[in-house]
Amino acid sequence: MRVLHQGPRDGGAAACRSRYCPHALAGQIETFPSPPSSSRAHSLRHLPALAAAQMWGKPLVAVNHCVAHIEMGRVVTGAAHPVALYVSGGNTQVISFAQDRYRIFGETIDIAVGNCLDRFARIVKLSNDPSPGFNIEQEAKKGAQFVELPYAVKGMDVSFAGILSNIEEVARVKLEAGECTVADLCYSLQAASRPGVLEYSPWRGDAIACTC
């Protein structure tokens, strides 16, 4: 079955850029959070997809937003039974399909790694354009000094609140004293957070990394 994935910003307009014409589509997929929001802003976001479904006479299928990311990764990679490392601004989870549903086998116990990066970018006044994570990565390439930072892995779970609190204090003290640069801190945060994520993913060789 050919389906059209509706991104959060694309809405029904994605069909105009699709290589499939409306007649080739069996249906449309629109992603929803879990639980679905009843807010006015959330409802308006889905209007393009609803309009396109009515115009083309195709069913509109609601799917869980997280599951949609994992399923897209599975289709692209061709993985039959993947263990997914699902990483985003709001999620850091190890997920796999078991007993007829996706199940979480490990996750962050406080904040997601993406949220950690976003908040750090605000601390050191990095731009949001095009994204905090991208700008941290570019600055990290200029880093010349590694500043030791803690990360916590607890069995199948991981924590990033501690590393954020620590680097916030380090940034205040060491940047004022001229002992390191913003680039050094970006490099150090990347170097500490990535091993933290990978260490708690037990099947590292057979994982799909999903971001949103």
| Nearest in space to 58 (alpha carbons), one of 17, 29, 95 | 29
pLDDT of residue 42: 52
* Residue 17: Cβ within 10 Å count: 7
Q: How far apart are CA 86 and CA 159, in angstroms?
A: 15
Q: Which residue has the tokens 């640069």?
A: 181
Tens digits of pLDDT across the chain (212 residues): 233 333 343 444 444 444 445 555 555 555 555 444 444 445 566 777 788 888 888 887 777 888 888 888 888 888 877 888 888 778 888 888 888 888 888 899 999 988 999 999 999 999 888 888 899 999 999 999 999 888 788 888 888 899 999 999 988 899 989 999 999 999 999 888 877 777 766 554 455 445 44
Tell me: do 114 and 201 sit in the same domain.
yes
Residue 97 and residue 46 share a domain: no
Token pair 């409802």 is found at 43
67 and 152 part of one domain: no
Give the domain range for residue 176: 81-212
For residues 129 and 144, state if they share a domain: yes
